[in-house]
A and B are shown apart, each in its own frame.
Chain A
Amino acid sequence: MRARRADSRPSRVLAILLPVVILTVTGCSPNLDVDSYSSVRAVLSEQSEAIGLPLDDYLMTSSDESAAQAANFILMNACMEESGLEYELGKIDWSDVGGLPDRRYGLWSADNAARYGYNIPTDAAVADAYATVDEKSEDETYYNSSMNCVQSIDAVPIIRADYEGDANVTNLTEVATRGVSEAQQYAREQSEWDAAIDEWHQCATDAGLTVDASGDEEVWTPRLPATDEESRVKIAVVDVACKSQVQLIQRLSDLEARYQAAYIAENEARLKTLADAKAAALERIRSIVAQGGS
């Protein structure tokens, strides 16, 4: 086949379009100087399985989300009481209940693995309150009252990139949501991403586990027996030990952290509004909890 001339029109069109196509496919912002932020690291808390990233300065953490939900449940209970009803989720003490564990790269707390396997640790009082609300909601009067209250309370906004519930908040968080999304995509495009995951797979395989990683979906859990909880816990312990040995969570989240830091530098002015909104929301949570919904 005859070689196409270097200055042919298709090539020139391709040269113009390629950056656009790559930008669309990768979803990353152009001109971000990520290399200048190579020393930025994610802040990990293994006990609570929390991953701290730079954009958390502008968005609620999982723990903040839990506190906001608790405040909103207090408001729900106050609203329901006007109809002579109770909303149990707003009557329990949430002060010791943290946020959901961040398992974007799978289970990684050795303590949680040994105690709960792959299940999410759940406070007994919280679980009971959810069950009671579900049970009461089978009654039409109770359910309709709860839906009216959902619409009528002045809820604390959940200012997170991964929360959908209020269009105004979604618009507000858009600039940070884009940064979070791009950072996740950027991380997956780095050779370090594949290297870290390959080392985890190898460790798990050497320990007798099977990670079904041949498909096109990301897999963060070794193959598990369907019902044998004891075996699932044993696998969880080995799985987490391997993730710790190869520093999987730190290495992957550091990639996201670097991109987020570079993204913040380019978008600081727009993010300032979000930081102010987050601060106001956290203050409102404190006020609601202090007043007990009154």
Chain B
Amino acid sequence: MRKRNKAGLVGLLVAGASILGIGAVPANAALSDCGSSRFCVWTNTEYTGTLWQYNTTTASGQNMGISSLANKKSYSIRVWDAENFSGNSKAFGASYATNNLGIHNRYGPLTWNDAIRSFQQGA
């Protein structure tokens, strides 16, 4: 899988989304930086790197190199590995967080690390 430069943003998931609290978060970023009722993604594992917080939950765009996420919604969120809600998908349940998308299998040897391109509420 292609290595990505995690120091800078590669792109942004935007369509239909309200994005709050965008900005580079220092190395002491944490799960608690993700606000209540937000869907949050980080560009590095362990909830570090740049944090993006989404209020509403439909977005599609370029690969941002997402490596950890937190779903602080009361419902599930489904993510896809291609733009426009296409490709392989995976849902993360209500109040679910993972500090390493690299442990979540996509197919064969591939994982969800650096793979998310779009997402939407799950049902």
Give me the interface of A with B, judged by CB distance under 8 Å.
24-28, 65-66, 69-70, 73, 76, 87, 89, 97, 99-100, 103-107, 118, 120, 130-131, 133-134, 137-138, 140, 143, 146-147, 149-151, 158, 160, 162-166, 177, 180-182, 184-185, 188, 215-221, 224
- CB < 8 Å A-B pair total: 142
Known pairs A150-B95, A219-B83 / 17 extra A-B pairs, C-beta < 8 Å: A65-B122, A100-B123, A103-B87, A106-B87, A130-B121, A134-B37, A134-B55, A151-B95, A162-B90, A164-B92, A164-B96, A164-B98, A165-B96, A177-B105, A185-B107, A217-B82, A221-B86
Contact of A220 among B74, B82, B107, B108 (CB under 8 A): B82
Say whether, besides A133-B74, A150-B94, A165-B92, A218 and B81 are in contact (CB < 8 Å): yes
Chain A nearest Cβ from B2, distance in angstroms: 5
Cross-chain contact A143 with B108 (CB below 8 angstroms): no
Contact A164 B109 (CB under 8 A): no
Is B22 part of the binding interface, using a Cβ–Cβ cutoff of 8 Å? no
Contacts of A162 in B (CB 8 A): 88-91
Considering the complex, which residues of chain B in the window 102-123 have a beta carbon less than 8 Å from any beta carbon of chain A?
104-109, 117, 120-123
Given contacts A163-B76, A165-B96, A184-B88, contact A100 B122 (CB under 8 A): yes
Whether B86 pairs with A104 at a CB distance below 8 angstroms is: yes
Bound-state CA distance A254–B89 (Å) is 19
Decide: B37 and A107 in contact? CB cutoff 8 A: no
Q: Which 8 A-B pairs give the minimum distances between C-beta atoms?
A: A165-B93, A185-B108, A184-B107, A69-B123, A137-B37, A118-B84, A27-B108, A220-B86
Residue contact B85 to A120, C-beta cutoff 8 Å: yes
Tell me the minimal C-beta distance from A50 to chain B in angstroms. Answer: 14
- Closest chain A residue to B104 by CB distance? A164
Are B108 and A181 in contact, with the CB atoms below 8 A?
yes
CA of A99 to CA of B78 in the docked complex: distance in angstroms?
A: 12
A151: chain B residues at CB < 8 Å are: 95
Please, which residue of chain B has its CB at the minimum distance from the CB of A140? B36
Question: With A120-B120, A185-B107 in contact, do A164 and B74 touch (Cβ < 8 Å)?
Answer: no
Q: Are B76 and A69 in contact (CB under 8 A)?
A: yes
**Alpha-carbon gap, A158 to B94, bound state (A):** 12
* A65, B2: Cβ atoms closer than 8 Å: no
User: Could you say which residues of chain B place their CB within 8 Å of the CB of A107?
Assistant: 84, 86
Chain A contacts of B73 at CB under 8 A?
134, 137
Q: Which of A27, A99, A131, A165 has the most CB of B within 10 A?
A: A165
Q: Which residue of A lies closest to B61 (CB)?
A: A226
Nearest-neighbour CB distance to chain B for A165, whole angstroms, equals 2
Chain B contacts with A in 18-70, Cβ cutoff 8 A: 36-37, 55-58, 63
Complex interface: chain B residues within 8 A of A158 (CB):
76, 91, 93
Is the Cβ of A146 less than 8 Å from the Cβ of B56? Answer: no
Q: Is the CB of A26 within 8 A of B108?
A: yes
CB distance from B89 to the nearest CB of A (A): 6
A120 to chain B, nearest CB (A): 5
CB-defined contacts of B108 to chain A, threshold 8 Å: 26-28, 181-182, 184-185, 188
User: Which residue of chain B is the closest to A177 with respect to CB atoms?
Assistant: B105
Alpha-carbon distance A250/B66, docked complex (angstroms): 32
A contact residues around B63 at 8 Å (CB) = 217
Q: Which residues of chain B are within 8 angstroms of A215 by Cβ–Cβ distance?
A: 2
Interface check B7, CB cutoff 8 A: no
